[in-house]
Amino acid sequence: MAHLRYPKRGCIQMDIHIYGHRFRETTGLPNTPANVVKAKKMLKQINAEVALGTFEYRKYFPSSKKNSLFQQLKREKLQGSANVFFDEFMKEYVERNEHQWRDTYTRCLNGTLDLYVLPFFKDYKVDEITLAHAQRFRTHLCELTKKDGSRKLSNKRINAIMVPVISVMHMAAAELDIPYPFERLKALREEPSDPAPLNQREVNLFLDTVDTKWRDYYTLRFHTGMRSCEVHGLKLDCVDFEHRRIMVRRNFVTELTDVKTPKSRRDIHMTPTVYHALKSAVANMPDKEKQRQGFIFTKKSGKPLTTHFVARSIWYPTLKKAGLEKRKPYQTRHTAAVLHLAAHENPLYVSRLLGHSGTRMLYDVYAPFVHNISQYDGSAFDKMMNQPAIHRRAANDVIPFAPPKKRHKG
């Protein structure tokens, strides 16, 4: 249980006796009549939680150095309990499912757990986690900031961080016969995608400014819309010059893997520009890389490219040198989509070129940037409808359907 101490000088203190140990903490409240009322109210709540077995030290003293000692004593006390702690159950969840995950995803997940999830949830038993815990956790994530004061994590990123937490609690509810606590938890509303594609003039300016040894690399990216990991994982055995096609089969992030989805596994037809760019890139490959069907684009050391290296060493310096607005490297993909639509390419072709599962994203995200085919004033429709009748007939000449004549039985 807990009780208050009222020193003549300084702040009101609190002694908490739990798990055979005494914890002394300051409330941070000077010894005044008004603060005594506040401290007694806190004391009453702490004693109630201690009696119910729901007291959490860090809830009241989040910055205390004694948090780790409290959690250690709590684990020792509850070691024989039928219920398990969150971090133990999360470890079990990862071990059961990692066989069906890519190694890159497993590493990414473990990094997310260590950085965000486990520091918050690890010392809770799975049967004591409630909706309020999830809401407090999300609030904590939303309040994280960068050095410049801006938000560190987007709503989309926070929703992704919550996925393993939700999955583990689903598994716990099914296997430990406990209520699922997040029934009323709704995902945060995600910010709409905000592409910033380059226009045709800016693409040409970028290609004229970039170091000549990287011109073929960026020509490929601007003309095909391939993802960074797809270009970095492109090897000689997936380039068919005879039939002029690029076979997108692999990704490279930290290691070489197969493409992520069936739609991402695709063949891209080489236009003359892409054909000549790839021919030039292959001609500049070291002979040993050609012999082992190695990566087409590499660092000086011969190691595969990484997104971080390309962004830091090539993309951002070139944008600055060319006087172009700063934007993320992924905008090469958005640029390819917009310029293909602006050139009146079939949306279905563009969707397949990018490896999308459908054409909806083209209309929802990219169409507003295509000014020459989206005037928003009805002028194209008005021009078509006001053509002379003979021109409309020539443009829309359709042979009417005539049903076959019935044969009479003779």
Cα–Cα distance for residue pair 34/39, rounded to 1 Å: 9
Cα–Cα distance for residue pair 179/160, rounded to 1 Å: 23
Structure tokens at 273: 């520009």
pLDDT the model gives residue 58: 79
Specify the DSSP element, H or E, that contains 50.
helix 33-52
pTM of the model: 0.63
Task: Give one DSSP letter per residue of 324-367, joined into a string.
Answer: PPP--TTHHHHHHHHHHHHTT--HHHHHHHHT-SSSHHIIIIIG
3-class DSSP assignment, residue 187: coil
pLDDT the model gives residue 233: 93
pLDDT truncated to tens, each residue of the chain (410 aa)?
777 888 877 888 888 888 778 888 888 888 888 888 888 888 888 887 877 677 888 788 888 888 888 877 776 766 655 468 898 889 989 988 888 888 888 989 999 999 999 999 988 888 889 999 999 999 999 999 998 888 999 999 999 999 999 999 998 888 888 899 999 999 999 877 678 889 889 999 999 999 999 999 999 999 999 999 999 999 999 999 999 999 999 999 888 888 877 888 999 999 999 999 999 999 988 887 777 778 999 998 888 999 999 999 999 999 999 999 999 999 999 999 888 888 888 888 888 888 887 777 777 777 666 654 444 445 555 565 566 655 544 545 544 444 555 555 54
Cα–Cα distance for residue pair 13/69, rounded to 1 Å: 19
Residue 10 near residue 31, CB atoms below 8 Å: yes
3-class DSSP assignment, residue 166: helix
Instruction: Output the CA angle 54-58-59, nearest 5 degrees.
Output: 60
Cα–Cα distance for residue pair 298/306, rounded to 1 Å: 9
Q: Which residues contact 314 (CB under 8 A, 6 or more apart)?
A: 210, 211, 214
pLDDT the model gives residue 12: 85
Cα–Cα distance for residue pair 53/75, rounded to 1 Å: 13
Q: How many CB atoms lie within 10 A of CB 390?
A: 8
Residue 42 near residue 33, CB atoms below 8 Å: no
Residue 206 near residue 318, CB atoms below 8 Å: yes
Residue 391 near residue 384, CB atoms below 8 Å: no
Bridge-based pairing state of the strands 21-30 and 11-18: antiparallel
pLDDT the model gives residue 388: 63
Structure tokens at 304: 């595969």
Cα–Cα distance for residue pair 130/12, rounded to 1 Å: 31
Residue 240 near residue 250, CB atoms below 8 Å: no
Cα–Cα distance for residue pair 396/381, rounded to 1 Å: 14
Among 38, 139, 47, 126, which Cα is nearest to 89's?
126
pLDDT digits (tens, 9 = 90+) for 110-156: 999 999 999 999 888 888 899 999 999 999 999 999 988 889 999 99
pLDDT the model gives residue 239: 94
pLDDT the model gives residue 293: 78
Cα–Cα distance for residue pair 132/165, rounded to 1 Å: 14
